[in-house]
Amino acid sequence: MSMNQYMHPRNIYKQPPNFKQLAIQYPEFRKHVSQDISGKVTIDFKNVEALRALTCTLLKKDFGLDLEIPLNKLIPTVPLRLNYLLWIEDLLNLAGRTENIKGIDIGTGASCIYPTIAAKKYKWAMTATEIDPESIEYATNNVTKNQLSHLIKVVAVAKDTLLEEVLKEYPGEHDFCMCNPPFFSSVQEIHPFFKARKQNRPHPRNAFCASVDEVVAKGGEVEYITKLIKESTKINRQIKIYSTMIGHKSSLPPLKKLLREVDVVSFKQTEFCQGHTTRWGLAWTFHDVDLTKIPDSLVAAKQKLVKPLCYEVPKSDDLTYKVSVVSEKLVTIFQELQIEYQEVKHIKGFVEFVIVAYANTWSHQRRKKREKLRQETSNGDNNNTEIHQTCDKFAELDFSGAEVKKRPLDVDEDSGFYSAKKLKSSEDGASDRFYLKAKISVMKVDDCIGLKLNYLEGNGTKEALHQILQYIKNNLTKS
């Protein structure tokens, strides 16, 4: 399935390039296209020269860049690189940085694609590091040929050098660093039939086009990024925002765990979706910037595909019928169940929590309450109006654009972290791999108070959310 619908909203490639138009406009690209009997124009994505022609053509057409890329080096896909740069732009805007931006690209490669796009599109000043002599030569020539030498410095560094040595040579504060690390720990992992790949996962559609040194490193991306994180603790505030791309989703938990351990002020992860490929981004900072507040349109788009669970809170003599009181009762329930929670929105008539459960702590409680609930129902107590997925007056409400009460909001979701007031789980050694993450909203509509529960993710699936709702129903009016 194409992931273009989840691209960054400002990515110009959300609408795929028109190969026919490109072939008419650019003779070099025309050599690599073919037309089927229906008239559709395409290229052979298994052909390295065709991939290079596509990349160079898009860079020329959309950014006015004329880059030379050798066939034995990494041929970057433009939509993915643009996704990453657009995210960096969002992070900088959040940090209040919009002018005189200085960035570092770790391992720029022969194409020098990140710095050249950043310089051409945003006028950012970039330091581009590289260890490979051939790649350094190509990168330097690409900068010179495109008349960007006043904005881009290509710096040769020793192997295993990330940031420390570079900042000794080029001191001063930088706004960000970015990195496209080697994803694999061995040459065997590159093979599409590598045993660690899921059996139902499709093989790569594109030809492999990179040198081994560009995609393989000892310990893979986890060890590489771990080193970057540890270096960042020494460099600290010299760089405002540290960031990296990640090739395997399984790499995220240990890296986020490490970020919590080294006491970053905040971190944020995202997804880069393009074509049939998904990559991840991870950013962190030691400055007082809450990176979790960056808009996450991708998550929002995916959440809309899953209908929420809704429940109209019954009026009861045991419960004061106010949003604030119901919210306080929910907090008590979260604490009883040892669920991490964070109030992320609080306006008049609306309170929203993000919860994270690391284990199922509610199922054994339900059996004790079930018989009591049956007895109440048989006695005619039918005030528990359950409206799963059909309560339109709650489900369709959207408070996302409402003004938040002006006070610090401290979000500690799995996709990000802000340490201003970090919530800890009941167990200090809680695993980064959670059982359930969900969003629970309390709202007043007309004379009714309702709950809306949105499943976000987790091993517990949506059934776990049903169970939590049942527990809430059984305990909400309990004095």
The annotation status of 164 as a binding-site residue, yes or no, is no
The annotation status of 352 as a binding-site residue, yes or no, is no
The annotation status of 374 as a binding-site residue, yes or no, is no
Tell me the torsion sign for CA atoms 311, 312, 315, 320.
Answer: positive
Candidates 115, 174, 169, 117; CA nearest to 140 is 115
The annotation status of 180 as a binding-site residue, yes or no, is yes
Question: How many whole angstroms separate alpha carbon 50 and alpha carbon 41?
Answer: 13
Tell me the torsion sign for CA atoms 312, 317, 321, 324.
Answer: negative
Annotated binding site for S-adenosyl-L-methionine: 81, 107, 130, 180
- Binding-site residue set: 81, 107, 130, 180
